[in-house]
Structure 1
Amino acid sequence: MPHDVSVIGLYILDVLGRPVTRIPDRGNVDFIEEIRLTVAGTAGGTVVDTAKLGLKSLAVGAVGDDEKADWVLLTLAKHGIDTSAMQRIKGVPTSATILNVRPNGDRPALHVRGASDHFDVPPAAYAQVFDAPIIHLGGTGLLKRLDGPASVTLLKEAKRRGRTVTFDLIAASAETIGIVEPLLPYIDYFMPSIEEAKDMSGQATPEDCAKFYLDRGAACCVFTLGGDGAYYAHRDGTRLRSPAYEIQVVDTTGCGDAFDAGFIAALHHRMDVETSLRFAQASAGLVATGLGSDAGIVSFEDTLDKMKNWKIKQ
Structure 2
Amino acid sequence: MSNKQGNIVVIGSVNMDLVAKTDRFPQPGETIIGHQFYQIPGGKGANQAVAAARLGAEVSFIGCVGDDLFGQQLSKGLDNEGINLSGLRTVEGVSSGLAHITLTDTDNTIIVIPGANAHCTPEHIAAHESLIAGADIVLMQLEIPLQTVQYAVQLAERHGIPVILNPAPAHPLPNELLQGVTYLTPNETELAFLAGGLAASTHSLQIQLQVLLNQGVKHVVATQGERGVLFGSQDSSYIHHQPAHPVQAIDTTGAGDAFNAGLAVALAEGNSLSESVTFASAVGALAVTKLGAQPGMPTRDEVMNFIKQKG
TM-score of the superposed pair, with normalisation by structure 2: 0.88
- Residues 281-300 of structure 1 deviation map (CA, whole Å, 9 limit, x = unaligned): 11111111111112443321
Q: How many Å separate the matches in 2 of 1:79 and 1:222?
A: 27
Does structure 1 conserve the Cα–Cα contact (< 8 Å) formed by 2:122 and 2:151? Answer: no
Whole-Å Cα distance in 1 between the matches of residues 83 and 71 of structure 2? Answer: 15
Partner SS, residue 18 of structure 2: strand
**Equivalent residue runs for 1:84-103 within 5 Å:** 84-103=86-105
Per-residue CA distance 1:35-87 (angstroms, 9 max, x = gap) = 44333222111001000101110111111110000000000001111111011
CA RMSD of aligned residues (A): 2.3
> After the TM superposition, which residues 131-146 of structure 1 pair with which residues of structure 2 at under 5 Å, given as runs?
131-138=134-141, 140=142, 142-144=143-145
> How far apart, in 1, do the equivalents of 2:221 and 2:130 lie?
29
Instruction: Within 5 Å, give how 1:64-143 maps onto structure 2.
Output: 64-104=66-106, 106-122=107-123, 123-138=126-141, 140=142, 142-143=143-144
Range 180-189 or range 269-278, more displaced? 269-278
Report the 3-state secondary structure (helix = DSSP H, G, I; strand = E; otherwise coil) of the residue aligned with 2:86: coil
Q: What does residue 198 of structure 1 align with?
A: 192
Structure 2 gaps of 5+ residues are: none
Q: Check if 1:246 corresponds to 2:255.
A: no
Is 1:171–2:172 an aligned residue pair?
no
How has the CA–CA distance of structure 1 residues 118 and 276 changed in structure 2, closer, same or farther, with 3 Å as cutoff? same
**Is the alpha carbon distance of 1:281 and 1:171 closer, same or farther for their aligned partners in structure 2, counting shifts above 3 Å?**
same
1:255 aligns with 2:255: yes
Partner-residue secondary structure (3-state), 2:274:
helix
Look up the match of 2:308. 308
- Residue 31 (structure 1) shift: 6.5
Equivalent residue pairs, number: 296
> C-alpha distance in 2, partners of 1:110/1:185?
29
Alpha carbons of 1:90 and 1:41: their partners in 2 closer, same or farther (altered >3 Å)?
A: same
- TM-score after normalising by structure 1: 0.87
CA contact under 8 A between 1:42 and 1:168: conserved in structure 2? no
SS of residue in 2 equivalent to 1:108 = strand
Verify the 8 A CA contact 1:119 1:143 in the aligned structure 2: yes
Over the matched positions of the two proteins, sequence identity in percent amounts to 24
Q: Secondary structure at the match of 1:85?
A: strand
C-alpha spacing 1:129/1:37, structure 2 compared with 1 (3 Å): farther
Following TM superposition, by how much is the alpha carbon of 1:88 offset from its aligned partner in structure 2, in angstroms? 0.9
Mean alpha-carbon deviation: is it higher for 298-307 or for 280-289?
Answer: 298-307
CA contact (8 A) 1:36 1:291 kept: no
Q: Which runs of 5+ in 1 are unaligned?
A: none
